[in-house]
Structure 1
Amino acid sequence: MTTSTETTDVRAGLIGYGYAGKTFHAPMMLATRGLALAAVASSDPAKVGRDLPDVEVIADPQALIARDDIELVVIASPNASHAPLAATALAAGKHVVVDKPFTLNLAEARKVVALAEAQEQLLAVFHNRRWDSDFLGVRQAIQSGLLGRVTHFESHFDRFRPEVRQRWREGPGPGSGIWFDLGPHLIDQALQLFGLPQRVQADLAMQRSGALTDDWAHVVLDYGALRVILHAGMMVAGGSSRFVVHGEKGSLVKRKPDPQEAQLLSGMTPGSPGWGTDDDDMLFYDGSGDERRIAAPAGDQLSFYRGVADAVRGAAPNPVPPIEALTVMAVLEAAAESARDGRTVALPLTERERAALA
C-alpha cells in the first residue's frame, strides 16, 4: 500500500448505484474531506445524472477500473460481482472498498485478500455499522464494566416488510437472503466486542408468502459461558429491541436503532448538524428494580470513509483490515452450513488466519 503523504484528494470511482450505492456510498463519499467522487459506473445513467449531475457516469465497470485517474474503486454492485470486480481492480493497481458481504464465500474472500497483499493495495470492506450510535453506546457500557462479566448478548436487525419485493436481494440467486444482507453487520459488531466464537449454530427460514430466499435468521455464537444471539426478521412490526445485554452487575437495553440510515433516506447530508444524533436513551437495570437512562453517543459512519482516505494517503491504518472482513465471512459461511445441516459448526479458519486476527 502507498505510504505517500500527498494532500490531494483521493479520486474514487463507484461501481453500482442501487440501494447501497445511492443511499450510503455516494452521499458519504461526497461528504468526506480528502475524497473526490470522480465517476460512477451504472446501467441507469439517468438515475445517477438526476442525483449527481456533476459526476461522470460510465456504463461499463471495467472502463471505470481502467481509468488512470481513479485511485480507489468502491464496489456496491450485486453480491455475486464483488469478488470478480475487486480482483480486477486490485490487479489494475487500485485501492478497493467492497460493500458487505465481502464475497459469496470464504474461498473467494481468501483469494481477494491474498491478491490485495500481493499488490500492496488497500482493501477494506464497508462494515459501516461499527460507527452506529446504538453499537457505540453498548460497547462503551460493556467496556466501562457497568454490566460486569457479560453472559448474554442479543443483537437484532428486525424490519416489517411483509411483501416480497422484486429485487436481487430477495431473489433465489447466490448471495441473496436476509442472512447475507444483514448478517455481516450483526457478525462484525459481535466480533468487535467478543472476538472469535468457539462454535456457531444457526436456523434460517422463509416466512413470507412467496418468499424465494431466507427472510428470517437466528444465529447463536458460542463463547463458552457467554451466548451471543444474532437475529434478523422481515415480519417484525415492533416490540423488539436493537440490543439486549445481561451481565453479572445488571442488564442493558437499547430499544431503537441508529438513525443514520433513516437520515440518509430523508436526504440529510452526512456530517451536517444533527447527523448521527440518537435521542433514544439506553436503559440500565442493576437488579434493584430501578431503571437508569444512559444517553447514546452520536453515530458517525463517515468515520469509515475518512479512515479509507487517510489510509490511502498513508496517514492512518485501514479502518477495516482484510483479515477482519475475512473472519466475518467465516462466521457467515459457518452459519449457513449449520442451518443447512442442522448442527453446530466450528469456524473454518486456519491457524495463520487466527494468528493474524489476534
Structure 2
Amino acid sequence: MQKIKTALLSYGTSGKIFHAPFLDLHEGFELTGAWERSKKNIQNDYSGVKSYDTLEELLADDSELAIVNTPVDTHYEYAKKCLEAGKHVLVEKAFTTNASEAEELHELAKTKGLKLCVYQNRRWDSDFKTVQKVLNSKALGDIVEVEIYFDRYNPQLSPKTHKETGEPGAGILWDLGSHILDQALQLFGYPQAVFGDIRKTRNGSKIGDWFDIILYYEDKRVRAKAGFFMREPVPSYILHGKKGSFLKERGDVQEDELKEGKKPGTEGWGIEPIEKSGFLHTEMNGEEIKKTITTEQGNYYELFDLLHQSIIHDKPEPVTAEEGIKVMKVIDAALNSNKLKQVIQL
C-alpha cells in the first residue's frame, strides 16, 4: 500500500489521542513527526519520528499531508501555509473562524490541485451512525422535529487558556457546535434560515458557553443545543416523525478508549454498552411498536481510510471543504442572529 508521509502541527490531546494512533495503525500513512513548541513528547511514543522546532521546518520537510490540529484561530493561517507548501491538509474542527476564511482555503486547494479535508470525526460516532440507520429505515415517517444536544456538566473554566480567550474561534459554538451542526446538515441538508441564541453562563467566562440554534427547513425544524450545566443529561438525539419517535443518548466510547490508551481496531472497539441502546416508538403495518435499537459500532478509522483513498486514488475527501464551508456559514448566521435577535435567511 502506498504510504502518505504525514506531519502533525501539534502533539497535545488532539495529536496524541485523535490522530497519531490512527496514522500509526493505518498501513497507508507514515507518521513523520509533529511540531512541538515546548514539550517534546512524540518521540517517546513513536520511534523514528521528528519533533519539529518550527512550522517552517515542518513545511520544508518531505511530508505530503499536514494535519492542522492547533487552536481554531490559527487554522486559516497554518492551513494556508501548508497548502502553499504543496501539502494536502486535514484541518481539525472547527474548520476556520468564519466562512470567508474557509472559502479562501477551498479555492487555494483547488488551484493547487491538493486535498483539503475537515476533521469531523463524530460522523463516525456509534450514536450518530445509529440515528442515520433509523432515519434511512423510514421507520419514523416524514420528520417533523429533531433536537441534537451536546451537553456536559463542567462549570469550571478550561485550563487550556486558548479556549477561554474570547478571541475568534474560541467558544462552545466552534468546539461542540461545529460537530452537531455538521451532523444536522449531514442528516437533513442545508437549511433555509437560522436562529441563534448564545450566552455566557459560567462565572468569569469570556466566551459563549451555551447556545440554542434552530435550523429552519420547509417541512421541519432542527434544534442544535449545547452547554456546560447539564448534570442530568437528556437524550442527545430526539427525532419525531409522522409515524414515530426515536430517542438516543450520547454513548460513543471511542474518545474514552483512546484516552485510556486502547488501540483502535482491537476487539470490542467502538461498541457502546447495551444499556445505551436507543428507543424506537413507531407504527408498522398498523401495529404499534416499542423496542430498543442495537447501537452501530463507532469507528474513526474509516475517516482516515477514506482520506487515504482520496489522496492516493483522487476520490472525494471524507469531509469536503464545501461541507465545512456550509457549517461555517451556519455558525456565521447564528452569531449574526444572536446579535440582531432575528432569524437570518441563508
**Is 1:120 aligned to 2:108, yes or no?**
no
Equivalents in 2 of 1:172, 1:17: separation in Å?
23
**Is 1:101 aligned to 2:86, yes or no?**
no
The Cα shift of 1:317 comes to: 2.7
Q: Which deviates more, 109-118 or 161-170?
A: 161-170
Maintained 8 Å contact 1:242/1:257: no
Amino acid at match of 2:201: Q
**Is 1:281 aligned to 2:277, yes or no?**
yes
Amino acid at match of 2:238: V
**Is 1:257 aligned to 2:256, yes or no?**
no
The Cα shift of 1:28 comes to: 2.0
Name the residue aligned to 2:135: 142
Equivalents in 1 of 2:271, 2:292: separation in Å?
16
Maintained 8 Å contact 1:45/1:57: no
Equivalents in 2 of 1:129, 1:251: separation in Å?
22
Name the residue aligned to 2:12: 18
Identity of aligned residues (%): 34
1:57-80 superposed Cα distances (whole Å, 9 cap, x missing partner): 11212210221x200000001111
Q: Secondary structure at the match of 1:175?
A: coil
1:47-66 → structure 2 map (5 Å cutoff) = 47-66=41-60
Name the residue aligned to 1:71: 64
Name the residue aligned to 2:205: 211
RMSD (Å), alpha carbons:
1.5
Equivalents in 1 of 2:13, 2:340: separation in Å?
32
Name the residue aligned to 2:342: 343
Q: Secondary structure at the match of 2:89?
A: strand
Maintained 8 Å contact 2:151/2:233: no
Amino acid at match of 2:18: F
**Is 1:27 aligned to 2:21, yes or no?**
yes
Equivalents in 2 of 1:37, 1:28: separation in Å?
10
Maintained 8 Å contact 2:254/2:298: yes
The Cα shift of 1:340 comes to: 1.7
Runs of 4+ deviating beyond 4 Å = 287-290
Equivalents in 1 of 2:42, 2:163: separation in Å?
21
Maintained 8 Å contact 1:199/1:345: yes
Maintained 8 Å contact 1:45/1:59: no
Amino acid at match of 2:71: P
The Cα shift of 1:92 comes to: 1.2
The Cα shift of 1:262 comes to: 1.3
Name the residue aligned to 1:175: 169
Amino acid at match of 2:177: G
Give TM-score scaled by structure 1 length: 0.91
**Is 1:185 aligned to 2:184, yes or no?**
no
1:107-138 superposed Cα distances (whole Å, 9 cap, x missing partner): 11111000000000010000111111111111
Maintained 8 Å contact 2:33/2:42: no
Equivalents in 1 of 2:140, 2:95: separation in Å?
33
Name the residue aligned to 1:199: 193
Q: Secondary structure at the match of 1:130?
A: helix
Maintained 8 Å contact 1:17/1:77: no
The Cα shift of 1:231 comes to: 0.7
Name the residue aligned to 1:356: none
Equivalents in 2 of 1:27, 1:211: separation in Å?
33
Name the residue aligned to 1:223: 217
Amino acid at match of 1:283: F
Maintained 8 Å contact 1:202/1:338: yes
The Cα shift of 1:241 comes to: 1.1
Amino acid at match of 1:188: D
Equivalents in 2 of 1:184, 1:70: separation in Å?
28
Q: Secondary structure at the match of 2:268?
A: coil
The Cα shift of 1:8 comes to: 2.5
